[in-house]
Amino acid sequence: MNSILDKFHRAYGCMYASPFAKLIRPGLHKFLFRYWVDRTRRVTPVDANLFFGGHMRVVLPEVVSRVIYTYGFFDAEVTYLVSRYIKPGDTVLDVGAHFGYVSVLSSHLVGDAGRVYSFEPTPSTFAVLSENAKSRANITALNLGAGKENSSLDIADYGLQYCAWNTMADESRMPTVLAGVKANKVKVNVVKLDDYLAEKGIAPSFIKIDAENFEADVIAGLANTIQKARPIVLMETGSVASLTAAGSLANQGYRPHVVPRPGVVEEWQGPLDEANSRFKDILFLP
C-alpha cells in the first residue's frame, strides 16, 4: 500500500477511535474549539492540518470544515478513491470544489508535472478556495460553474455555514437540513466544459463532480471530452440528476464502481438506480 493510503487509514482510524484515544489524537483542544464556535455561532476561518501533510483554510462551523479541522480529511470514500486513482502527472478537474479539499489533495497527488483545475461558482466560497489555491502552483482556481451550455445562472447561496449545499438546480439535495435557512440568489457564470477545455487545450484524466443536483447538466457539457479523453469520473450520487448523469456515462461505455466497505472497490453489477440510492459516490471507469 502506498504511503498516502497508509496515512489516510491512520486518520480514518482516529475518527472511529475511543473517546479516550481522541483526547490524544486528534486532541481535546479541537473539540473544545469546535464547541466554542458552536456556542457563539460565529463563522470562524481557521487553518486545518491535513492527513497527508500541509494545511488548508476552512470555516467553522460549516459541516465539511468541522471534519477537516478535526481529522484532517473529509469524506472517507472520496478521499480513498482520489488517493488510489490519481497519479503523478495527471490533469484533474474538481467540479464543485467548495473550499478546495479535493483540489489540495489532488495537487499533492499529481505533483509538479500535473495540473488541477478547480471550478467553484459561489463567490464567497470561491474566496476561500482561492486562499487555498494561491500557494499551490499546480492549482488553477476558477470562479465558474459547469453546465450543458455557456450561460449565466442563479445559484442558491445559503451562506458560508451551509455552502456545501449551494445549488444551481431548482431543488436542494438537503431540504430538511436547510429548512429555515434563507438562500440568496446570486448570478454566476457557467461554462460548457467541452468548450472551455478545448479552448485551453486541456485533456483531463480524472474528473470529480459534486454539483448538488446539477450533475446531469455537467455531464451533458462534457460529452466530447468524455468521448475523446476517456477520463475517470468520480461523481456524487443520490438524486434524479445524478442518476441521469450515471446513465449517460454507462451509455458511453463507462463501468460503475462502488466502495462497499473501507478500502474495497468493486464493479457494480446491479441496476444503476440501486447504486445511485445506496452509495453516496460512484466511480466510473472507461
Query: What mean pLDDT do residues 120-128 have?
Result: 98
Range of the domain at 6: 1-74
Q: What percent of the chain is predicted at pLDDT more than 90?
A: 94
Statement: residue 1 has pLDDT above 70: no
pTM confidence score: 0.96
How buried is 99 (Cβ within 10 angstroms: 0-12 exposed, 13-18 middle, 19+ buried)? buried
Statement: residue 215 has pLDDT above 60: yes
* pLDDT tens, position by position, 143-175: 999 999 999 999 999 999 999 999 999 888 888
Q: b vs e for 35-47, b when ≥16 Cβ sit within 10 Å of the residue's Cβ?
A: eebeeeeeebebe
**Co-location of 219 and 110 in the same domain:** yes
Q: Reduced to 3 DSSP states, what percent helix, strand and coil does the chain have, rounded to the nearest 5?
A: 40, 25, 35
**Co-location of 45 and 84 in the same domain:** no
**Co-location of 84 and 12 in the same domain:** no
**Co-location of 181 and 230 in the same domain:** yes
Confidence at residue 172, expressed as pLDDT on a 0 to 100 scale: 83
**Co-location of 10 and 123 in the same domain:** no
3-state secondary structure of 216: helix
* pLDDT tens, position by position, 244-255: 999 999 999 999
**Co-location of 186 and 219 in the same domain:** yes
Cell of 170: 431548482
